[in-house]
Structure 1
Amino acid sequence: MGYAVVACWLLLAALVVVTWGRIAADRRWRGFVLLLTLGFSLVHQLLFATVTDAALVTFKYAQNIADGNGPVFNPGDRSEGYANFLWLVVVALPKAAFGADIKTSAVVLGAASTFGCVLIAYFLVNRVTKLALPEGGEARPAVGVAAAVLTAGASGLAVYGPSGTETPFFVLALLSVAYALVASRPVVAGVLVAGAVMTRPDGVVPVVVAGIWLVVAAARGRHTWWAPAGYGLGALVFLVPWTAWRATYYHHFLPSRALRPHVPDWSYLAGFSLAHLGFLAIGLIAIVALAARRTHGRAAAARSSLWLLFILAAGLTLFVAILDEDPGPAWQLLAPVPPLLAVAAVGTYAALTAANPSPRPRTVSRLVPVAAAALTGLAVLASLLSPDLLAGVRDERTQTAQLAEAGQWLGAYLPAGAVVSAAEPGAIASRTGSQLFVVGLSANRATVAVTGGFTERQNCAAGPDSTPAATFRRIGTPYWITVYPRADEASRLIDGLEQAPGFQYVSCPG
C-alpha cells in the first residue's frame, strides 16, 4: 500500500504541475483534478485503515443507543465514557434506522468527512481569494486545488479518516465554521461551532476564537453587531438543550474527559513538528508575509479571515499542549492543525497576489503547484517513515486485535456479571458479549483487571492496587497475557480461565 500512495502522489503531482494552466482556465479540468485528489486521499487513508480502541468505545455506546438502552457503555449504568456526543449519534443513526453495521458506517462516514475536508479546503481558499480581489479582478480558482492537494496529504487526517473516530468529522466542522464566517453567515457558523463542541472538548477553541473575531469585525465596521449576536444564538440553540440533557441524564455539566493544566509534553510536540515540518514552514512564511503587508478595503477582510485560520490553529495547539493529553498514536488531537495551516498559507498567497498582482503572474503562480506537490510528497514520506505514524498505527492495530481476542476469552470463561476493568475497554468489550460488565481501569471492585495485550515474556508485575498477577501462556505461540483477578476469588477465576483450550495458566515464580 505504501507503493500505491507514492505512485498516486507522483501521478497527482505531475498532473497538477504540468496542467496548471488548464486547471486555472477550465472548470471541468479542475473538477477532474479534484476527483483525482479525492482518489489520492482515499489511498492515503487506506495506508492506515485502523479502527482504534477509542472508536470501539463509541461503537459500544452507539450499539446501546440502537438497542434502546440509551447512551451507555453497560446497560443500566449511566456513565459518560465518551466525549464525542454528536459523532456518537451520527454513527448510531444508520444502525437504528436501517440496521447497518456500526463499524462499517463509522469508517465510511469518517472517510467521507475526510473527503469533505479536502473539498471545503478548495472552496474556502477560493472564498478568501474572492474577498481580496479588487473590483473586476479575475478569479483564481486554481489556488484552491493546491489547498485541496495539501489537505489530502495531511498525515494526521489520513490516519484517522477510516479509524471510526470523530477526528475527521471534527476537522470538517472546523473548516465549515471558518467558511461560514468568511461567507458572512454568522448564524450558520454558530450552529456549526455548537456541533464542534458536541464532537470534541477542544471545540471550545473555535467557539471563543470565532466569537472574538466577530466582535472585533463588528467593532471595525465589517459586520453589524447582529453578526456576533446571531452567532451566539445559533450556538446556544443546540448547546443549551444538550447541556440540560447531560445534566439530567448523567447528573453533571462538564465533559467526561478530564481537562487538567499540565506541563507541555515537548517530545510529543517535537515529534509532531518534525512530521509536519512542511506545513509549519509554509504557515510561518505566510504569517510573516501577512504581518508585513498592510491592506485596505476588500483585501483587509481577506486578511482578517486568514488571521482567523492561523489563530484557530494556534489555539488548538495550545489547548492540547496545556489542557488535554493525547492517548492515541499519530497526534490525533492535533490533526486539525496541518489542514488549517495549509488552507491559511495558500489563502495568504492567493489573497496577497490578488490584491497586488505580480507583473509576471504566470511565473509566480507556477510556484504554487510545485510547492504544493513537494510539500505533499514530504507529508507522504512522513506517513511512511515516521515511527509515530504508520509504525505507531500498526502497533495500535496489533494491540487492539490482541485485546479483542482477550475479551473473547474473558467473555467465554468468566462468570456472568463479572466486572472487567481494562486500560482499553473498547477493544475488550468488542468481543465479551453482553454477559460481562466492562469498565475503565480506574474502577473499584473489579472482578478482573486487564492492563495490556499479549507480551513475548511472562509479566509478573503487580497490577492496580498491588493486585497479584495471573499469567497465561497462549498455547502454540510465543505470547503471554497477564490478568489481575480479585484476591478473594483468584483461585476460582483462574480455574475458569484455564478451561480455555488455547490458554495455559503458569504461576509466577515465588
Structure 2
Amino acid sequence: MQTDAGHARRSPPLILSLLLGAVPVALLFLVVRHLGGGLIDDAFIFCRYAANIAAGQGAVFNSGERVEGFTSPAHALVTAALVTMGIEAPVAAWWVSMGAAALSLVALCLFRGAPGLCAALLAIAAAPFALWASTGMDSSLFALAITISVLMVEADLDRWRRGESPSPISKRTWFAAGSAVIVRPEGILLLMIVIAIAPRHLTSIRGVGGPLIGVAPVILLTLLRGAYYGDWVPNTFRAKVGGGGVDLWARGLDYLADSGIALAPLVLLASAHAWRVLRRRETAAVGTWITVALAAGIVFEGGDHFPMHRLAVPFIPLLCLASSRLIWSLDVPGRARSVAAAAAVCLTATCSLQPAMLERFRLELTLARTWDSMGREMLRQLGSGHSIALTNAGAIPFRTGWHTIDMIGLLDRHIAARPVRLGHGYTGHEKYDSAYVLNREPDFILIHTWIWRSIVSGDEALRRVSGDANLDMSHAPRFRSTYYLRWLAMPNGFVALYERRRGGP
C-alpha cells in the first residue's frame, strides 16, 4: 500500500509538476466558459475600494468615510495593484479570483504530483469551485491561502518526522498560516489548528518564536484596522454576525448540510481518508482538522445568501486532496486507480451541478449585469455628485461614483451595529434602519432593484416592493412625503427611482 509519506518522498520534478498543473488550469477556464461564470454584484464593492486605493483616496467606499465594508484586505489590495497598472477594476477582480483558483490547482500538482493532479481535476468537477472562481470575489484567494498553507505544513511535518528538520513547522510556514487572516477573517482558524498540532514546538522559549511569527500578521492587521477604521473587526462581521446566536447557527448548520449534499462524493471519500489518517496519526490529518474548523466557521457565521455554496469553496481543494489520497492508497493496479479517480470526478460533477442552484447562480450574474447597466445609465442621465441609498450597493455605486448609503449595513457602521436578533430573515440582509437613512437625506433611494417593462402608478409601485429593508422604507411616512417617484428610461425598460423633494414635502 502506498502512503502519503511515500508520495512526499517521491515528489515529481518541478517541470513535470508545472506541466501537470497546466492541464487543470486549462480545464478550469473551459468549465467556466461552458457554465457561464461572471462577476456578481458584491464583487463591485471590492472594485470600488480598489479603485479608491489606486486613486490615492485610501481603503474607503465613500470618500472620507472609513468603514471596512469588505471581507478581504488582500483581495482589495491585489485588485488595486492591478488597477494602478491600467486594468479596469472589474477586469482586475476577475483575474484575481480566476488566477487564485488556477494557482490552487497548480499548487496541488506541484506538491503532490499525480495524486495532486487527481485532486485538481476533482476540484474542477466541483461546480462551486469553478463558478466562484469567475465571480471576482475572495473565495478563490482564500482557497489558495488555505491550500498552500496546508501543503506547507504537511511538507514541514514530513521533514521533521524523517529527522531532516529540528522544528515541526518552519518559520515561513508559520508566517503563511498567520497571513491567511489577511485574506479572510476565518484565516484565524487555520492558525489555531497549526498551533494545536505543533505542541512540542511550544515547549521551549526558542520554540515559541515560530508561533509568534504566525501571530504577528494577526496582531498587525488588528492594530492597523483599529488605527484606520476605529474598529477591531470588519464592519461586515458586525452586519452579518453581530447579534447572532442559536437561530443564526441553526441556519448555518442547514447551509453546511446543503453544501455537504452537493459535495457528497468528496465528503464521503474525504471522511474515509480522515478515519484512516486520524487513527494512524499521519501528516495528512492536518487538512482534516482545518476542514472541520472551516466548516464550524460556516455554522458560526450562519451561512450565506448566495447560491452555489460559496463558503465551502475554501476547503474544496482539501476535500479533493483527501479524496485523491484515498484513491491513490488503494492496493490495486494503476489502471484500477485511474478508473476509480475518473468515477469520482464524474460523481462529483453530477452531484455538485444542481440545476436549481445553477439557475439561482445565473440569476445573480444577470442581476449584476442589470445593475451595471443601470448604474451606467443613471450616471449618463443624472450626472455625478449625487447620493443614493439602496440595498444592492455594488455595481450601481461603482458605475455612478455617487456617495452611497448601504441600507443593510455592510458599508454603514451605524446599521451594522444595530442590536438585531439574527437568523430569522434573509441571510446577510437582516439589519436596517429607515429612519437613520432618511435623516441622512440621500438625493435618491432605490427600493425597486429591477428594470420595469412599463411605467406604473406610484401606488402600484409601492405595492410591488420586496426585501425587508426596502419594505420598511416604503412604509415609512417620511419617505412617502419627502420622496417622489421618478422614472428613468433604459434601453430595455424603466428604472423606478425615488428622488428627494427640494425645499420640503
TM-score > 0.5 by shorter chain: yes
Displacement of 1:328 after TM fit?
2.5
Matched with 1:121 is 108
Map 1:7-26; keep pairs closer than 5 Å: none
SS at match of 2:341: helix
User: Does 1:329 pair with 2:313?
Assistant: no
Matched with 1:77 is 65
Distance in 1 between residues matched to 2:490 and 2:374, nearest whole Å: 13
Matched with 1:194 is 178
Matched with 1:454 is 451
| CA gap 1:331/1:483 in 2 versus in 1, 3 angstroms | farther
Matched with 2:407 is 441
Matched with 1:424 is 392
Contact 2:14 2:110 in 1 (8 A): no
The match for 1:208 among 192, 200, 223 is 192
Displacement of 1:415 after TM fit?
7.1
| CA gap 1:475/1:323 in 2 versus in 1, 3 angstroms | closer
Matched with 1:374 is 343
Matched with 1:318 is 296
Distance in 2 between residues matched to 1:400 and 1:50, nearest whole Å: 9
Letter in 2 for 1:205: L
Map 1:454-493; keep pairs closer than 5 Å: 454=451, 459-461=461-463, 463=470, 464-465=472-473, 466=475, 467-468=479-480, 470=485, 472=487, 477=492, 479=493, 481-486=495-500
Distance in 1 between residues matched to 2:300 and 2:494, nearest whole Å: 37
Letter in 2 for 1:344: A
Map 1:20-35; keep pairs closer than 5 Å: 32-35=19-22
The match for 1:309 among 287, 308, 316 is 287
Distance in 1 between residues matched to 2:257 and 2:171, nearest whole Å: 38
Matched with 2:361 is 393
User: Does 1:163 pair with 2:165?
Assistant: no
Letter in 2 for 1:264: A
Map 1:342-381; keep pairs closer than 5 Å: 342-348=320-326, 350=328, 358=331, 361-362=332-333, 365-381=334-350
Distance in 2 between residues matched to 1:243 and 1:405, nearest whole Å: 37
SS at match of 2:231: coil
* Unmatched 5+ stretches in structure 1: 1-23, 127-140, 492-510
Letter in 2 for 1:397: L
User: Does 1:405 pair with 2:373?
Assistant: yes
- Cα offsets for 1:309-329 (capped at 9, x unmatched): 112112111211222442323
Distance in 2 between residues matched to 1:341 and 1:167, nearest whole Å: 15
Displacement of 1:485 after TM fit?
3.9
Displacement of 1:348 after TM fit?
4.3
User: Does 1:106 pair with 2:93?
Assistant: yes
User: Does 1:229 pair with 2:214?
Assistant: no
Distance in 2 between residues matched to 1:409 and 1:104, nearest whole Å: 20
Matched with 1:282 is 269
Contact 2:45 2:70 in 1 (8 A): yes
Letter in 2 for 1:448: F
Matched with 1:507 is none
Displacement of 1:90 after TM fit?
0.9
Matched with 1:15 is none
SS at match of 1:212: helix
Matched with 1:14 is none
SS at match of 1:397: helix
Letter in 1 for 2:337: V
Contact 2:256 2:303 in 1 (8 A): no
SS at match of 1:438: strand
SS at match of 2:186: helix
Report the TM-score, using the length of structure 2 for normalisation: 0.75
Distance in 2 between residues matched to 1:282 and 1:227, nearest whole Å: 40
What is the CA RMSD across the aligned residues, in angstroms? 3.1
The match for 1:94 among 82, 93, 97 is 82
- Cα offsets for 1:406-440 (capped at 9, x unmatched): 2234334447543211212111112214xx21231
Displacement of 1:473 after TM fit?
7.6
- After superposing on structure 2, the runs of 4+ consecutive aligned residues of structure 1 that deviate more than 6 Å are 24-30, 487-491
Contact 2:39 2:136 in 1 (8 A): yes
| CA gap 1:99/1:29 in 2 versus in 1, 3 angstroms | closer
Contact 2:48 2:398 in 1 (8 A): yes
Letter in 1 for 2:36: F
- Cα offsets for 1:439-464 (capped at 9, x unmatched): 31146223322242235686423634
Displacement of 1:50 after TM fit?
0.8
Matched with 2:6 is none
Letter in 1 for 2:379: G
The match for 2:226 among 247, 264, 268 is 247
SS at match of 1:59: helix
Larger mean CA deviation between 456-465 and 239-248 belongs to 456-465
| CA gap 1:28/1:201 in 2 versus in 1, 3 angstroms | closer
SS at match of 1:237: helix
| CA gap 1:27/1:198 in 2 versus in 1, 3 angstroms | closer
Matched with 1:45 is 32
Distance in 2 between residues matched to 1:163 and 1:214, nearest whole Å: 36
Percent of aligned pairs sharing the same letter: 20
Aligned length: 426
| CA gap 1:430/1:27 in 2 versus in 1, 3 angstroms | closer
Contact 1:107 1:162 in 2 (8 A): yes
- Cα offsets for 1:100-126 (capped at 9, x unmatched): 3332232223222112111222344x3
Letter in 2 for 1:197: V
Contact 1:471 1:482 in 2 (8 A): yes
Report the TM-score, using the length of structure 1 for normalisation: 0.75
* Unmatched 5+ stretches in structure 2: 1-10, 157-168, 413-436
Map 1:50-65; keep pairs closer than 5 Å: 50-65=38-53
Distance in 2 between residues matched to 1:218 and 1:313, nearest whole Å: 22
SS at match of 1:431: helix
Displacement of 1:167 after TM fit?
1.2
Displacement of 1:29 after TM fit?
7.2
Contact 1:186 1:228 in 2 (8 A): no
Displacement of 1:92 after TM fit?
0.8
- Cα offsets for 1:177-208 (capped at 9, x unmatched): 11121122432222222332111121121121
SS at match of 1:263: helix
Matched with 1:134 is none
| CA gap 1:263/1:482 in 2 versus in 1, 3 angstroms | farther
